[in-house]
Structure 1
Amino acid sequence: MNYETKMDLATADEGAVDHERGESAEGSSSRKRLWVILAIVAALVLAAVLLTGGKETEPFTADRSGELATVTVLAPGSTTIEGRINATGTLAARREMPVGVVGEGGRVQSVLVEAGEWVRAGQVLAVIDRSVQTQQAAGQSAQIAVAQADADLAQANLDRALKLVERGFISQADIDRLTATRDAAVARVRVARAQLGERQARNAQLNIVAPAAGLVLERNVEPGQVVSPGSGVLFRLARGGEMEVLTQVGEGELAQIPLGATGKVTPVGSDKVLSCQVWQKAPVINRENRQGTVRCAMSYDEALRPGGFAMVELASGTINAPRLPESAILSDDEGSYVYIVDGKNTVQRRDVKVGMISDDGIAIASGLDGSERVVLRAGGFLNPGEQVRPVMNKAQ
């Protein structure tokens, strides 16, 4: 009995210990699950904070009452907007003058200018050898002397005959013949003088001269070279040194650029910003690329190199219109539109037509007068007729 009693007590004690161990294991497992859940919640909260930047999404939030959405609105007003068109262009002489052989040509004796030099009107650029032409001019001068001598003799014969006709020694027919001889001799004098003048004019054309004052852009001739009227362009000049930039713009932009508009030109490879003025627009549009040429005149500058490229910024006129950021303008199949909030805080759709685009925003050509409260952002989440709580943009 004593033995069995001891065994029963020992068995009871062991059961109690096992029961306590089971309860302890179950509590430890529950605590682990709780810590895992808390860690997951903390990770989700941290991710939400990082995604939102730690700030509330102001443009479109639910009101604390849960009834109205909060939207940021902007009353743009009306401002003067100056449009700008950026393009690339090619530098060129505004009035380019090709100079070649005008006369009969010959061997170039000397070239008196270099490319890059300034010349005045009538200045000799190159001289062609005229040794043969000089002798021809001398021969023409001698022909004048011969013709003049014949004319003097014919006049003397006529004068003597007129004295004898009164005495009846010479008939009137002889007088007419002598008069005709004298007139023919005088005419030959005039012909000889005209031929000499022609020869001298041809000799003068042997000098290649500048037709107007300007800058020499090209020199394509060297001493000893034989040239003729078919030799092509020997010199190329920019009249007055005037330059221009030719830029291609779309037909829509071409219509926005007025004559006389100013612009800024930055030649490639230079830090200089030069001014220009539009003096001509292409009267036709290229059918292939739907572009037209704008010619913008410039004063001479050392940084300008005809044939080079330049960055061009042209003024496309000014307008008075509301200006909105890009986030406020939406579009669909019907065109561009914005959402406005009326006096009853109701969202309304308003169709608009966009105008000039600049770094400061997009001009509204029509559809708004600037006094409306325009939804600044999150318009895609709204519907016409929806009630909202508008908040004026703090930047205004």
Structure 2
Amino acid sequence: MRALLCRLPPLLALLALSLTAVAADWKQGRASYYGTDGWSIHKGNCGFGYISQDQPAGWDVAALSDQFPNFAGSCGRCYEVKCDSRWVKDGYGASFDRTHVCYDPSASLLLRIVDSCPCNYPSNWYSNKRWCCGDADHMDISIWAFEKLADKKWGVIPIQYREVPCSYQPPKPAPAISNPTPGEYWSQTDNFMQTGDMSTPKIWNYQQADKMVQGWQFGDPTGSSSARASSSASSSASPANTGSSSGDKGTVFSGSLQNGWWDASYNAKVSWQAGNFGSSGGNVVCADLYGSGALAVSHSQGGFQGAGGLEFWMKTDGGRPQVTINIGGGSRYCTPKPLGQLSVLESRGSYSKFALSLGELGGSYTSFQGCGGNGWWDLTTIELKSTIGSTQTVCLDSIRLLPGSSSSRRRSS
């Protein structure tokens, strides 16, 4: 390049240097999408209110991870973004092949920041820690921007990005698809803000501007006033081979089996009242697994309704048990996940907390509908199965199904 510039007129040489600097400015990141799942682009905590399509970037907007470089003061900032053909990982280490999903890796679009994606979001901790805790530079972009870059079925894509002025025009704009997702509009009725109803088109009415604000206060990324936190799980010590009732409908085991779940273990000696030595001093379940035995629980059909993930606390002070985690229904099971492939999310005493998306066992990880030939309605069983020939002991403090979503930002996926 240096020899070539010596032969160029000064103006062209300056232009070449400028283009070289811009090209070197691209950074790698990751993008998921939101906008039609109850998390409206018009309610971002930047407080911009309704976003009209003639504003800078229109509906091509994003929520920025609060671990993103230069996150502070990002409201209103603009980025040029393009799809990047490569593998991508989530925050728990799972890898996804996205080498062939980009419509055109050379096409880009302008994104404006209107919201945030907080790493610490207790009511949706699994999903937010999966994407927004800094393992990658992550943007939750609007579905209308996402579907210009790749099919929305992929859920998450690798991207390249760089900060640009909001007046910037990409040299090769990513075109809108022929049948884009229907948009959100506003009318004089209040049902959109109060219920999120988008069943009919709505037209913007400027008299409603003061109501088009996110459900939590401006600048508060915790979502404290709108968080849909689950009630705490019951720790009843009732006999536990049948499920008692819990305030948290996702609870499978907490001191006892809950919400209609029952023991379905096989080739195992199980004690559902093993003693009060759990991570918080509550009762635990322990099982001696013989050969290919499993600690398993079952529910009638429909027990997985709305589920998108699985969380459990396991005793690991003597090393991780050599087991796989799986779900199934009838004689059909999904793809087992070795415990050794899961990251420890938290440790407390001799116990470690693990979690995984049900999509990691097969099917869609963005909006779980079933796996192994079973729809979600047909799934009935959760099992932790031994992978060694000798006897081993496993102890669990709690088991919960986590809520599922098509959005990665504030609900589990």
- Superposition TM-score, scaled by structure 1 size: 0.22
In terms of fraction of residues, the more helix-rich structure is: 1
- Superposition TM-score, scaled by structure 2 size: 0.22
